[in-house]
Amino acid sequence: MQNSKGKYFDFDKECRKAGLKVTLQRQEIFEELRLSTDHPSAEALHERLRIKLPNLALDTVYRTLTTFANKGLINRVETAESLGRYEAIHSRHHHLICRRCGEIKDFTWSLLDEASLPDNVGNWGRIDSKNIVIYGLCDKCLNNS
Amino acid sequence: MQNSKGKYFDFDKECRKAGLKVTLQRQEIFEELRLSTDHPSAEALHERLRIKLPNLALDTVYRTLTTFANKGLINRVETAESLGRYEAIHSRHHHLICRRCGEIKDFTWSLLDEASLPDNVGNWGRIDSKNIVIYGLCDKCLNNS
DNA sequence: GTGCGTGCAAACGGTTTGCATGCTT
DNA sequence: AAGCATGCAAACCGTTTGCACGCAC
């Protein structure tokens, strides 16, 4: 993505716009995350990048992900394992989480996105996000049990 | 609750039914959790029980909560802080979580509970729970900022 | 050249585990 | 009397932090 002419997302540009220096580590971490569809953890990303960047430190991955999330370049997702996991930002979606294998599947539900909240919420405050989290057993795990 | 004649929930009975021995620690931990409305963590419960049970070990609280959750006596709730927190089981509800103070408010939304999932979920597997998690800033925190 | 970003190592906090003792059944 | 539950201490694991060097700007 270094020199992409904005094909998908001009990372270098967005990075600088956020006031961050463009480094190889940041480029690669973002790219790996962008290509991942499974909400990897910091450790998982570190593992995957070991071939490309053998010297990459795990704490750099943590720091980078935190920085990206703070700058709004990526989203942090709370999961079943009480473990911080991350995702490249894409469209509004909800989560199906398998209790067994931990896999997280996204799904969209525009009907809900547009629905207004029930009265008993009242004027709780300012709402930033509204997400459904569904737990269960995915098809694979159901068949292997 | 030890000798309550089933006024709210006969803990001793339910405990034995689940194959668990009834101990003072378990009774007190359950009772404290039942009286709590703020989804306390294991550490918070431990702290609150210090007066009643000065010798109660923190790991006992962890073990007890895990045991209860496994037996279905209580629910485990995933929260903003990536921290396991617990709640006594009450009626079906959803969560409003304040990013600032971490407070979790419950609300009900039967319309959603009864709604059928969108088509794109397909036959993902077996669904155990379906919860909405709303993040934002509660009224108190909004006014103090 | 300035200062942010990185790698290294050590600290940290919540949670889990091994073991011997104690209490429920 | 038998065995699960507890307390204690140590281990564990994911994450954060302090520091000095190195690279982007």
Pairing state between β A74-77 and A85-88: antiparallel
**Residue A46 near residue A58, CB atoms below 8 Å:** yes
> What is the topology classification, in CATH, of domain A11-87?
Arc Repressor Mutant, subunit A (1.10.10)
Summarised one tens digit per residue, pLDDT across range A58-83 is 999 889 888 888 887 887 665 444 44
Instruction: With cut-offs at 50, 70 and 90, classify the pLDDT of residue B89.
Output: very low
CA distance B93 to A118: 12
Which of A130, A131, A142 lies closest to A98, judged by CA?
A142
Instruction: With cut-offs at 50, 70 and 90, classify the pLDDT of residue B83.
Output: very low
Exposure class string for B132-145: b at 16+ Cβ within 10 A, else e: bbbbbbbeebeeee
CB-nearest to A136 from B99, B111, B127 is: B127
> How many A×B Cβ pairs under 8 Å?
118
Amino acid at A35: L
Summarised one tens digit per residue, pLDDT across range A94-107 is 878 776 666 667 78
Helices (H), A3-136: 11-17, 24-35, 42-48, 58-71, 110-114
Contact A127 B120 (CB under 8 A): no
Domain spans, chain A: 11-87, 94-143
Summarised one tens digit per residue, pLDDT across range B5-19 is 444 578 899 899 999
For CA atoms B110, A107, A76, A17, give the dihedral sign: negative
Contacts of A140 in chain B (CB under 8 A): 125
CB-nearest to B133 from A80, A133, A142 is: A133
- What pLDDT was estimated at residue A5? 43
- What pLDDT was estimated at residue B120? 84
CA distance B129 to A50: 37
Angle at which helix A58-71 crosses helix A24-35, to 10 degrees, equals: 70
CA distance B56 to A7: 60
B130 to each of A63, A96, A98, B73, B142, how far by Cα in Å?
33, 9, 12, 19, 29
Cα–chain-centroid distance for residue B144? Answer: 28
Note the pTM of the prediction, 2 decimals.
0.68
- What pLDDT was estimated at residue A78? 55
CA atom of B59 to C1′ atom of D8, Å: 10
Residue B98 sits at the chain A interface (C-beta within 8 Å): yes
CB of residue B22 closer than 7 A to nucleic acid strand D? Answer: no
Contact B137 A125 (CB under 8 A): yes
Paired residues of A96 in beta bridges: A105, A134
- What pLDDT was estimated at residue A88? 42
- Looking at domain A94-143, its CATH architecture is 2-Layer Sandwich (3.30)
Q: Which of A94, A113, A140 to mutate to test the interface with B (most CBs of B within 10 A)?
A: A94
